[in-house]
Amino acid sequence: MKRILFGQSSFLLATLFFLLTACQKEKTQSFDSQPNGTVSSNRPQAIARSNDLVVQTFTRAWPGNSPRQYRFVYASNGSLDSIVVTGTPNYVYRVFYKGSHLDSVILVQNNRTVSTVRDFQYQGNLITGFHYFDRINNFPFPWTYSIGYDNQKRTSVIERSYLNNLQYRKEFLYNANDNIISSNGAIYTYDDELNPLHLVPDLFAIMFE
């Protein structure tokens, strides 16, 4: 079975942070784009409300590859149940909660567990760490991720370790509009369009690969 990894998970985790922010809301429910943005200063609640915009699908397309669609499935209480991905390949993120906090995320492909994210640590409603388990290569110990925040509750640093050995560290700098302007030497610019992915709480930890 082919792994669905597009690169190092740590790189993808940091990239997802840039995709998951927006402060605007509009009354539409499907998106076909690659929105960009920054880390939100506030974490929305995991339970959706009937008057809020709810993301149903989005499609990612890039040159030389077939489009990949992500369909969001919600439980009766409004929390995210799973994300069904169709394209090449097909796979599913299954999401489990304790109250409004994430408990674990299991990635399933061809009826086989590819990876598990669990042991979430919180400070209030902010995720400060979790463990990632590779179920295909059967590494005996998890990778540990730690997330730090500044005094405005914006993500300031992400670290990845294995057996207490630091392997990766990414820091974030913001402007007055709460946009990330640089990270480890990379420079970012923005438009003023809606980023619908921000409406799904903690998506950076759910869509991990």
Q: Which residues of 34-60 are buried (b: 16+ CB within 10 A; e: fewer)?
A: ebbbbbbeeeeebbbeeeeeebeebbe
Are the beta carbons of 102 and 205 closer than 8 angstroms? yes
For the segment 124-141, the average pLDDT, to the nearest whole number, is 91
Q: How far from 109 is each of 19, 30, 120, 171, CA to CA, in Å?
A: 24, 25, 23, 32
Q: Is the pLDDT of residue 75 over 60?
A: yes
In a domain, 3, yes or no: no
Joined together, the tokens standing for residue 116 give: 């598990």
In a domain, 1, yes or no: no
In a domain, 148, yes or no: yes
Cα separation, 86 vs 88, whole angstroms: 7
Q: Is the pLDDT of residue 129 over 70?
A: yes
In a domain, 13, yes or no: yes
**Residue 52 pLDDT class (50, 70, 90 cuts):** low
pLDDT tens per residue across span 155-207:
999 999 999 999 999 999 998 888 889 999 899 988 888 778 878 889 989 99
For the segment 68-91, the average pLDDT, to the nearest whole number, is 93
In a domain, 166, yes or no: yes
The domain of 109 spans: 9-206
- Specify the pTM: 0.74
According to DSSP, residue 205 is labeled H
Mean pLDDT across the chain, nearest whole number? 78
For the segment 66-71, the average pLDDT, to the nearest whole number, is 92
- Better-predicted residue by pLDDT, 127 or 10: 127
What is the residue type of 61?
A
For the segment 57-80, the average pLDDT, to the nearest whole number, is 90
| 185 torsion bin: left (phi>0), alpha (psi -120 to 50), beta (else) | left
Return the minimum-mean-pLDDT range out of 15-29, 64-78, 149-163, 184-198. Answer: 15-29
- Better-predicted residue by pLDDT, 199 or 142: 142
Number of domains in the chain: 1
Return the minimum-mean-pLDDT range out of 22-26, 73-77, 109-113, 158-162. Answer: 22-26
Range among 24-28, 116-120, 137-141 rated most confident = 116-120
Q: Is the pLDDT of residue 44 over 70?
A: no
